[in-house]
């Protein structure tokens, strides 16, 4: 009986610690966090992203995706940047991240530039958040102020990626549950899915929707002419080519993504399900109709996408990006 009571007290104490830490985490995030300690930080990131995206427009999608993949696992703590060690496989080794994520070199170079000016001040997690914001602006004219003050994590576990990130084969109901666990609404989930207006996907992420033989039925929700086009890009189930997520404006972050869904031209199952499910159809139609409103919602959802975690606040990485 005494042991049971002690366990209960310990559990309650732990939960109180979690709540206290979460409250503190929310308190230290603020806009212009580095105004006094490293005033050039956001400018350095903005200029680096501008150069990178001008040189390679596809990098914008990569940087936004890095931020998403980082935040969805352990919170926005840059754990997606950590390298594996002999006793641990890191998030980078997950099939969700490798080889699909790109743009790490931009984060690396940007952090190095900031370190030269303000050593040990700006976290990698904030650099990632700034880079995602600046990518959204460069690719779609979508701007929002980024609350900063995140701290970099020291833990990165490969298996946690699949446990937390939504896969490309999920239906609307499962997507809603995944985002709800992160404190995000159905409308925010549909809104953030609009990030698939830019970027590419490997054939392996959607090949199950195509019919390559008599025993493999084609997804009936896929527009036949679009399916024929996809087969020219992915001639076999094992093809490793990439296809633009939005073939209309592949490098422009806009609401064309939703208009394509209305015509059954969503590349991934997790894309097209948003139009086909009664839970989300109205939101897709609304976003397709009102591009400016979707852009405002996208900016708001990007700021909200900062899950609170119950863990110690680690130090800022002051050296290289990928820690081993």
Q: Which residues are catalytic?
A: 69
Using DSSP, state whether 151 is helix, strand or coil.
Answer: coil
Asked whether 106 and 59 are in contact (CB, 8 A), the reply is yes
Asked whether 72 and 206 are in contact (CB, 8 A), the reply is no
Asked whether 134 and 46 are in contact (CB, 8 A), the reply is yes
CA dist 228 and 3 (Å) reads 65
CA dist 15 and 64 (Å) reads 32
CA dist 75 and 56 (Å) reads 28
CA dist 298 and 240 (Å) reads 31
Chain-centre distance for alpha carbon 154 = 20
CA dist 23 and 29 (Å) reads 11
Helix boundaries (H) for the chain: 2-28, 41-55, 59-74, 104-117, 124-140, 158-164, 172-180, 186-192, 224-233, 256-262, 269-276, 281-289, 291-304
Residues 6 or more apart in contact with residue 202 via CB below 8 angstroms: 99, 100, 240, 241, 242
| DSSP H or E stretch at residue 200 | strand 200-202
Other C-beta atoms within 10 Å of 275: how many? 23
CA dist 77 and 313 (Å) reads 10
CA dist 138 and 48 (Å) reads 11
């Amino acid at each position: 009986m005494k042991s049971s009571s002690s366990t209960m007290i310990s559990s309650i104490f732990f939960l109180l610690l979690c709540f206290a830490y979460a409250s503190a985490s929310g308190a230290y995030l603020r806009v212009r966090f580095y105004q006094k300690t490293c005033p050039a930080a956001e400018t350095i990131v903005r200029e680096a992203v501008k150069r990178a995206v001008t040189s390679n427009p596809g990098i914008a999608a990569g940087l936004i995706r890095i931020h998403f993949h980082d935040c969805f696992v352990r919170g926005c703590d840059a754990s997606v940047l950590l390298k594996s060690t002999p006793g641990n496989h890191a998030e980078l080794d997950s099939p969700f991240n490798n080889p699909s994520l790109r743009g790490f070199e931009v984060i690396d170079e940007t952090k190095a530039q900031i370190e030269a000016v303000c050593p040990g001040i700006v976290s990698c997690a904030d650099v990632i958040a700034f880079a995602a914001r600046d990518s959204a602006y460069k690719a779609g004219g979508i701007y929002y102020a980024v609350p900063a003050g995140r701290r970099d994590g020291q833990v990165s576990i490969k298996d946690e990626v699949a446990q937390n990130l939504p896969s490309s084969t999920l239906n609307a109901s499962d997507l809603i549950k995944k985002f709800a666990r992160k404190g995000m609404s159905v409308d925010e989930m549909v809104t953030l899915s609009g990030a698939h207006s830019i970027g590419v996907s490997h054939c392996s992420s959607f090949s199950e929707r195509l019919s390559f033989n008599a025993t493999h039925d084609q997804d009936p929700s896929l527009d036949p002419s679009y399916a024929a086009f996809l087969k020219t890009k992915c001639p076999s189930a094992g093809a490793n080519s990439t296809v633009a997520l939005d073939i209309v404006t592949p490098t422009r972050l806009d609401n064309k993504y939703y208009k394509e869904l209305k015509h059954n031209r969503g590349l991934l199952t997790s894309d097209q399900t948003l139009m086909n499910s009664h839970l989300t159809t109205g939101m897709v139609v609304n976003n397709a109709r009102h591009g400016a409103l979707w852009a405002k919602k996208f900016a708001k959802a990007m700021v909200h996408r900062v899950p609170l975690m119950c863990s110690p606040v680690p130090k800022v990485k002051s050296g290289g990006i990928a820690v081993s």
